[in-house]
Amino acid sequence: MSRADARAGDVAGFRRPAVEVMRLARMGSAHPTRLSFLRQLLRRAEAEGWRIDRPVWQVDGRGVGRAAYRARGPHRSYTLVAFAHDLPDHLRSDRVIATAWDATFALVDGEPTPADFDRLAANVPLQEAGRIGPGELCLLRANRSVRLFDHVVARLAGGRQPDPAALAEVGYLMRTTAVYGSGKFGAADRAAIADRPELAAPFQAEMLSVWLARAFTIDIVEHLARARGGDRAARLDPALARTLGVGNSTGLGMAPFLIRHPVLLNNWMAAREEALARVRAQTGVADGAEEGFVRALLTAKANAAAWDSAHPAQAGKLADLRADLDRIGGWLARGLDRAAPHPWDALWRRGQAELSLEGQEALLALMLEPHGELVDGLGCCMEADEAAAFPLDGRMRCDAARAALRDDYGWALDIDWDDPAEVARFWYVSEEKLEPRLGRRAEEAGAERELPLGIARAAADCAAALADWPGADPVAAFLLAHPEHRQMLRRLQLSAGRPYAEIRDNLLSATMLPIDILRCKLAFFGATRFDPRSDLWVRISLFQGAPDPREIGG
Amino acid sequence: MTGAALSLGEIEALGQKAARGAGLDWGLAEEAGWAARMLSASGLPGPELLALALAGGPGGAPRVAPGAWRGDGPLCPVRTGAALADFAGLPAGLSDDGMRIDTVRTPALLLPFVVLAAARIGRPLALDWGTGQGLAGGGTLSAAGDVMAPVAAVTLALAARGPETGGQPPRCAVAPEPRAALEALALDTTVPPSDTSRADAGAGGDDND
């Protein structure tokens, strides 16, 4: 059948409802898809033939110095400046609060002058304690995975290749501990760059920074191997280099983002769900799509086999995933049911009936994979004009607000808020490190300074306060008397027409797992090898298996 | 006196935390940060105005009535501004006949909210606080005269035209004293450390793997 036929059908009827999609257990099973932000970056770089080179490499025999990686697209250039440091082992920490790193970086808008380079050399190594400016887009740093890093340097210095099993076990030479963009530490505001096509999709500058930093991680081990081994030293086999990504350590600090940016969250989810619906709605199987699905399944199985986690919950989910991928493979061995009115939907429905959440969300990613032509255009819908959604409409009637709360937040109103377990946790910012943390309400002080992330409880409180208010009054009058419900009413209004804006779970509950929020966000970035180190923080890999920047373009 | 340049995002975040630290509810604190950012984006001293407004302690909320809003003592510009935007086009809010508000702290801080009100009624608006004036419309604002006026009665009226488009470049340099004042207030949104909170913060121990 032709692609045009494949687009036929009533897509809306195949869309998953928010009550199904926006639950933490499912969000915490999310897999990267071809709409993930790093995939969008790689597709654009390839399609536009970006030219990527390394105009500066001034690094000494101890691995200390500076480098620049330049990406030139059709309209603009971006340059990652890298500062390589000699970090004593006792200062190496993944915590966002560390004060020294093995390497620090900034992504420059355009190409830095020597004066820019010197200014950045005085600031970028300080990270949070330094300042960058409107000519810079991102600030990041990375630490070595010491065990693997030293192994690779030693092997290459001796003229040998590293042990592939060791590479596979860790998966990266360095891991980033924070990637700052969007105006942080003086960087360019998102609004200043959002109209550039190459940066319009979310987090493209951050993804470009990490991709270029990955090239640095390869270059620095080769450099140190040459310094140690001289002419005997080997270059890292490109096929092995490709198996290495950039690691990332991420903790609670990332979790509030999805709650603070409901319009963005909606648009990410809506794009992915629309993509799934389009695939399911097809009345046939496009040429090559089934073969593409099977190829993606094989890749997913290899990834699942190499994906390891000691976290009990994740270990269980990995077992589910491996079994589910085998099950899907079994179904496909007999081929898709091409007699079904909607063959991909038939596969999806079978998955819903028989697979774990982990398997279902993996199936989603697999089903999008061979349908780039059908779904890739949705990538541009994942940005958000948050300022346009900010103003409240004070004219809304109080009875309409009550009805909307019942319709969109009924799940929150039905929670027993007198049960201490439902409000067991509170989110706050630590005075000491200015990082978000999660407290235990019954045991710790500070709940009076709680962050406003308990949306479910806020919805219930707002509904209770509105209950006695005259229905014909505008919410303007209600809010003048009750400014404490302003934030909730803003969320209520922007949720209209944005069904995926809200996580439909109680984020204050004793049973809430922050790693579920992290998993969802990281999957949208395109992260693989999600490995929780506790319920609060994770390690992941980015760009594993992706081409080196310098393999792309002319 | 000029200080270090902040990004607009930093101005918004600092303004929001400081307003919350000063005791405003979170929803209003969001609006305080948003207003400071919008003023700075329009070349005006947003953080400085917010610091001045918050320095006086909690200001009151207006008693709304057609044509004239009053308060017991100086009104909080954030609460008043939010109400101005909320009530625009409603009987108790701004109408074609204009309105008067007695007396508001840092009246220039009302301007971003007047932009919202202008959008709601579809007409450009002029804000006058005696020693200074502002225009709002088309999603933008401008001001002239004594922008840092600490407290004044204001009148709001339909304007013949909105602000010139493509006006001032953003003003991102924030004077040290108001910035320090906002940072001190922002610190009141944070929780002092405890052994438990340190232990629960994330990765611990040695990362040399």
Task: Report d(CA A16, CA A352) in Å as an integer.
Answer: 11
Kindly tell me the burial class for residue B58, based on how many C-beta atoms sit within 10 Å of its own C-beta (0-12, 13-18, 19 or more): exposed
The alpha-carbon gap from B24 to the nearest alpha carbon of chain A, in Å, equals: 9
- What residues in B contact A253, CB-CB < 8 Å? 202
The pLDDT value given to residue A92: 81
The alpha-carbon gap from B52 to the nearest alpha carbon of chain A, in Å, equals: 21
What pLDDT digit, counting tens, does each position of A217-246 carry? 999 999 999 999 999 999 999 999 999 999
- What residues in A contact B71, CB-CB < 8 Å? none
Task: Report d(CA A154, CA A94) in Å as an integer.
Answer: 24
The alpha-carbon gap from A201 to the nearest alpha carbon of chain B, in Å, equals: 19
The pLDDT value given to residue B164: 86
Task: Report d(CA A175, CA B209) in Å as an integer.
Answer: 11
Task: Report d(CA A390, CA A404) in Å as an integer.
Answer: 18
Strands (E), B82-170: 99-105, 125-128, 132-137, 140-145, 151-158
pLDDT surpasses 70 at B207: no
B7 and A186: CB-CB below 8 Å? Answer: yes
Flag whether residue B113 sits within 8 Å of chain A, measured between CB atoms: no
Residue among A94, A449, A483 minimizing CB distance to B79: A483
What pLDDT digit, counting tens, does each position of A481-522 carry? 999 999 999 999 999 999 999 999 999 999 999 999 999 999
Instruction: Look up tokens 């709650």; give the residue.
Output: A259
Interface of A with B in 161-190 (CB under 8 A): 170, 182-190
- What residues in B contact A465, CB-CB < 8 Å? none
Task: Report d(CA A296, CA A377) in Å as an integer.
Answer: 20
The alpha-carbon gap from B87 to the nearest alpha carbon of chain A, in Å, equals: 6
A146 and B193: CB-CB below 8 Å? Answer: no
Angle ∠(A41,A119,A84) on CA atoms, nearest 5: 65
pLDDT surpasses 80 at B202: no
pLDDT tens over chain A, length 554 residues:
544 454 555 899 999 999 999 999 999 999 999 999 999 999 999 999 999 999 999 999 999 999 999 999 999 999 999 999 988 888 887 776 677 899 999 999 999 999 999 999 999 999 889 999 999 999 999 999 988 999 999 999 999 999 999 999 899 999 998 899 999 999 999 999 999 999 999 999 999 999 999 999 999 999 999 999 999 999 999 999 999 999 998 888 889 999 999 999 999 999 999 999 999 999 999 999 999 999 999 999 999 998 888 888 889 999 999 999 999 999 999 999 999 999 999 999 999 999 999 999 999 999 999 999 999 999 989 999 999 999 999 999 999 999 999 999 999 999 999 999 999 999 999 988 888 999 999 999 999 999 999 999 999 999 999 999 999 999 999 999 999 999 999 999 999 999 999 999 999 999 999 999 999 999 999 999 999 888 888 999 999 999 999 988 64
Flag whether residue A338 sits within 8 Å of chain B, measured between CB atoms: no
pLDDT surpasses 70 at B208: no
Q: Which two tokens stand for residue A465?
A: 């306060």
B203 and A95: CB-CB below 8 Å? Answer: yes
What is the interface size between A and B, counted as CB pairs within 8 Å? 166
Going by C-beta distance under 8 Å and a sequence separation of 6 or more, which residues neighbour residue A203?
A: A37, A181, A525
The pLDDT value given to residue B206: 47
A252 and B190: CB-CB below 8 Å? Answer: no
The pLDDT value given to residue A544: 95
- What residues in B contact A440, CB-CB < 8 Å? 196
Phi-psi region of B162 (alpha: psi -120 to 50; beta: other; left: phi over 0): beta
CA quadruple A193, A196, A197, A198: dihedral sign:
negative
A430 and B4: CB-CB below 8 Å? Answer: no
Q: What is the dihedral of CA A23, A29, A30, A32, to 10 degrees?
A: 180
> Of the candidates A248, A244, A223, A205, which has an alpha carbon nearest to the alpha carbon of residue A79?
A205
The pLDDT value given to residue A341: 96
> Following DSSP, what letter does each residue of A206-234 receive, concatenated?
HHHHHHHHHHHHHHHHHHHHHHHHGGGPP
Average pLDDT over residues B114-139: 97
Flag whether residue A537 sits within 8 Å of chain B, measured between CB atoms: yes
B34 Cα distance to chain centroid:
7
Task: Report d(CA A199, CA A205) in Å as an integer.
Answer: 6
The alpha-carbon gap from B32 to the nearest alpha carbon of chain A, in Å, equals: 12
> Following DSSP, what letter does each residue of B188-201 receive, concatenated?
TTEE---HHHHHTT
Task: Report d(CA A546, CA A32) in Å as an integer.
Answer: 14
Element (H, E) at A283: none
The 3-state secondary structure of A81-125, one letter per residue: EEEECCCCHHHCCCCCCCCCCCEEEEEEECCCCHHHHHHHHHHHH
Q: Helix (H, G, I), strand (E, B), or coil: what is residue A192?
A: helix
The alpha-carbon gap from A433 to the nearest alpha carbon of chain B, in Å, equals: 9
A208 Cα distance to chain centroid:
14
**Domain residue extents for chain A:** 3-31+263-382, 37-251+546-551, 386-495
Query: Model ipTM?
Result: 0.95
pLDDT surpasses 70 at B209: no
Interface test with B, best of A189, A490, A513 (most B CBs within 10 A): A189
Interface test with B, best of A432, A453, A475 (most B CBs within 10 A): A432
State the pLDDT confidence band at B200, using cuts at 50, 70 and 90: low
Kindly tell me the burial class for residue A162, based on how many C-beta atoms sit within 10 Å of its own C-beta (0-12, 13-18, 19 or more): buried
Interface of A with B in 297-316 (CB under 8 A): none
State the pLDDT confidence band at B95, using cuts at 50, 70 and 90: confident
State the pLDDT confidence band at B205, using cuts at 50, 70 and 90: very low
Contacts 24+ apart (CB under 8 A), A320-323: A320/A356, A320/A358, A320/A359, A321/A356, A321/A358, A321/A359, A321/A362, A323/A359
pLDDT surpasses 70 at B158: yes
pLDDT surpasses 60 at B2: no
A394 and B200: CB-CB below 8 Å? Answer: no
B209 and A475: CB-CB below 8 Å? Answer: no
The alpha-carbon gap from B4 to the nearest alpha carbon of chain A, in Å, equals: 10
* Nearest Cα residue in chain A from B208: A146
Residue among A93, A437, A443 minimizing CB distance to B207: A93
pLDDT surpasses 50 at B92: yes
pTM: 0.95
Kindly tell me the burial class for residue A452, based on how many C-beta atoms sit within 10 Å of its own C-beta (0-12, 13-18, 19 or more): buried
Going by C-beta distance under 8 Å and a sequence separation of 6 or more, which residues neighbour residue A37?
A: A201, A202, A203, A204, A206, A207, A382, A524, A525, A526
Flag whether residue B65 sits within 8 Å of chain A, measured between CB atoms: no
